[in-house]
Amino acid sequence: MIKLRGFLETSFLDWDGKVSCVVFVPNCNYNCPFCSNWLLVHEPDSLPEVPLERIAAFIKERADFLDGVVVTGGEPTVHPDLPALLKRFKELGVLVKLDTNGTNPSMLAKLIEQKLVDYFAMDIKAPLNDKYAAAAGAKVDLDNIRTSIKLIMDSGVDYEFRTTVIPNLLGLPEIAEIARTIAGAKKYALQQFVPAHSLIKEMQKLDPHPAETLQEMAKIARQSVPNTIVRGV
């Protein structure tokens, strides 16, 4: 089973409208320069393991209070035994939200088929062109991203797509292009970039776009995805 490397008992922020607990899964196949969970990605063994049964006991104890569990990372889909982990949570009777970077559509298909996820939040880092690799800090198979978008939109499972608006890579034209790629999606969230969370010193010096710019981007994105929201401003 996956060695879990973090657990937040109560969150009102990680799943809109729900009270959740958050489980942190280590490792990732990206190396985003703005990653806020970089210890999980680069030095997971430096974090203490949280036993799954401790989390399960907490969920059972708080069943009346908790709506669901958010499984985040790192990138959970790099672990072949992710379905077993999510099954354990479903058996406890809670809803499951999965955060993913969308690089593993075959895992997403498996999870959809086995009805193990109640909500997907998939990152779209940049327009689906050569900017994507810069935003992800890694080589990216854009066909996998396209396949994951389609799978999630056709899945019948609730979802959102989301983009952290990195000021040196993403402006109005880029956000408009991403929104066109996911036209007709249920929800799109633009997330404010937080320099202090970044691992890379140059990124820490970047000024985020002003709140008004994010609102302007959202206005343009709504032409393709009417339910576009802004977070973190």
Residues that bind ligand SF4 (CB under 6 A): 28, 30-32, 35, 37, 41, 73-75, 101
Nearest approach in angstroms of CB 73 to ligand SF4 is 5
Task: Name the minimum Å distance from CB 213 to ligand SF4.
Answer: 21
Q: For ligand SF4, which is the closer residue by CB, 47 or 56?
A: 47
CA-to-CA separations, 124 to 9, 53, 142, 186, 202, in angstroms, rounded = 27, 33, 11, 15, 22
Q: In angstroms, rounded to a whole number, what is the distance separating the alpha carbons of residues 231 and 229?
A: 7
In sequence order, what are the residues at sequence separation of 6 or more whose Cβ sits closer than 8 angstroms to the Cβ of residue 60? 92
Residue closer to ligand SF4 (CB basis): 67 or 195 = 195
Q: Which one, 2 or 59, has the nearer CB to ligand SF4?
A: 2
Nearer to ligand SF4, 68 or 76 (CB): 76
State the minimum distance, in angstroms, from the CB of residue 35 to ligand SF4: 3
- Please report how close the Cβ of residue 223 comes to ligand SF4 at its closest, in angstroms: 27
Sheet containing 95-100: which strands, arranged edge to edge?
6-11, 20-24, 68-72, 95-100, 119-123, 158-165, 188-192, 228-231
